Chains A and B, each alone.
Chain A
């Protein structure tokens, strides 16, 4: 598994120790402001800010880059699509029917950069924050909505359970691939019909297991007296420190600067 998007990497960096609410809010604000950037200065500001945040993670930079490699193809594709299909500004290059315009090139760079920034920011959050922390933060941030009968706790629980079982599912998938490969399934090639067959041999047992596990989990929770969020106390308490205020303030600061400098 070399995909690191959505994966927590343990460390003891400043970012790891921050309040997940601060990180979540910072991510939302950042993500929103990415859509307001529209010229070189603003994009440079966003990139620099993110770069600092990523450095503070204290996770090897090469590792982050390697993990992003799978999405680079999508980014590249986005770039080419915009570069060739936007017809604005002066012609830079002409190959037969195809022409690259200055506007196209710029748009291609900006859009793919936007994409990259969004993914990198999400990765920044998930590398430094466990899924449980994210859910706690979501529940806390949206807590006030409980007054309007939004089942915030239940939604957060659903989210944390799904997140909790992603690694388990991945592990089981890996095991199942091995078990079926031992029975001669070829997961790395072969004609279309056989590929379908290989997929069934993989997915059916996985689904059956997931359903069984969900049922067992429900029974186990009920057996231990779980009945929703009413009056429930927390084991992990979220504490907001000055560093969290700093993170949020600097994110807001960058956003304000961005709004000032955008074209």
Chain B
């Protein structure tokens, strides 16, 4: 499903003394099947933007089009269920939404709400649990007896079991250990490929944005500041640092290296592998 934002404003608590503008004239187009990373300083409106993707928020002004759905400020909450089946949202700290007695029931909750039969839901729960890398024995356990990382995975499995076309992820790896983070990100990358999903990821890890995304959207104070491929976005280090963002470690390392040796390393160097290739090419003329 293609996603298009047209001049979207969003104001929290509009028409009250608590009114707070979170999005200003956002224009954005996400093509079907792309992996988009949204980055930006805290409070720049990333989560607000995400919640427009399945109609949890509707624009105060402007339009959001998602496939055949168009959301404007006249939207009725009741008509949004079909959209929500197609757009799965994993919130920041999704483990907070667990509530059932068993892991299995919790994962089945989403699919059952969308009218899947009990047997099919159970089957999907089993598959989803395997996808997030947890053993099947956990199905009958209470979600509250699990570790934080396991709870996170169960919550993610709960969304995956809905088999959405668009996967929306709000900092899904915040607070996970580095190994767990890599595992989860690899899972999303794999699902993106295998299920031909459209994936929208909010992250503070520029390494993840660089590694997994086709496009990077940089948010700044409620507006889209810049969009482009990771190469283009992470090219200008100083500019990004001015708005309080970082660039992947390897990009910094590359710059330091270049300053030291006084020569330029060809290739973009967004990931470790690319940097290694670049260094190899420079020193050994690609002969190694």
Q: Which residues in A have some Cβ–Cβ distance to B below 8 Å?
A: 1-2, 9, 59-60, 63, 175-176, 178-189, 200-201, 204-205, 208-209
Contact = CB atoms under 8 A, between A and B. Distances in A.
Interface stretch (B3-11, B82-90, B201-209, B224-232): B82-90
A169 to B, nearest CB: 13
Contacts of B84: 181-182, 184
Given A183-B158, A184-B162, 19 more contacts: A1-B13, A9-B17, A59-B17, A63-B17, A175-B91, A175-B96, A178-B56, A178-B91, A179-B94, A182-B56, A182-B91, A182-B159, A183-B109, A183-B159, A184-B84, A185-B113, A187-B77, A205-B99, A208-B99
Contact of A183 (B13, B51, B113): B113
B98 interface: yes
A28 B13 CA distance: 32
B45 to A, nearest CB: 16
Interface string B56-81: 10000000000000000000011001
A175 B81 CA distance: 18
Interface of B: 13, 16-18, 51, 54, 56, 77-78, 81, 84-85, 88-89, 91, 94, 96-99, 109-110, 113-114, 144, 158-159, 162
B117 to A, nearest CB: 15
B17 A60 contact: yes
B40 to A, nearest CB: 20
The 5 residue pairs across chains A and B that have the minimum distance between CB atoms: A184-B113, A204-B99, A183-B110, A179-B97, A182-B89
Contact of A182 (B54, B77, B78, B96): B54
Contacts of B56: 178, 181-182
B77 A188 contact: yes
A188 B113 CA distance: 14
Most chain B CB within a 10 A radius of its CB, from A60, A178, A179 = A179
A120 B51 CA distance: 36
18 contacts: A9-B17, A63-B16, A178-B51, A179-B94, A180-B97, A182-B84, A182-B88, A184-B81, A184-B84, A184-B85, A184-B114, A186-B113, A188-B77, A188-B78, A189-B78, A204-B99, A205-B98, A209-B96
Contact of A205 (B17, B96, B158): B96
Contacts of B113: 183-186
A209 B99 CA distance: 11
B97 A186 contact: no
A201 B98 CA distance: 8
A209 B144 CA distance: 11
B220 to A, nearest CB: 24
B198 to A, nearest CB: 16
Contacts of A209: 96
Nearest to B51: A178
Contacts of B77: 187-188
Nearest to A177: B56
Contacts of A184: 81, 84-85, 110, 113-114, 162
A200 B99 contact: yes
Contact of A179 (B17, B18, B91, B162): B91
Nearest to B89: A182
A9 B17 CA distance: 8
Nearest to B111: A184
A187 B162 CA distance: 19
A9 B158 CA distance: 40
A179 B81 CA distance: 13
Nearest to A198: B113
A208 B110 contact: no
Contacts of B13: 1
B146 to A, nearest CB: 13
B238 to A, nearest CB: 36
Most chain B CB within a 10 A radius of its CB, from A180, A184, A188, A208 = A184
A181 B91 CA distance: 11
A172 to B, nearest CB: 8
Contacts of A188: 77-78
A181 B109 CA distance: 11
Nearest to B13: A1
A183 B162 contact: yes
Nearest to A208: B144
A180 to B, nearest CB: 6
A59 B17 CA distance: 9
Contacts of A175: 91, 96
Most chain A CB within a 10 A radius of its CB, from B16, B89, B98, B158 = B16
Contact of B97 (A9, A59, A60, A183): A183
Contacts of A178: 51, 56, 91
Contact of B96 (A1, A179, A186, A200): A179
A96 B223 CA distance: 64
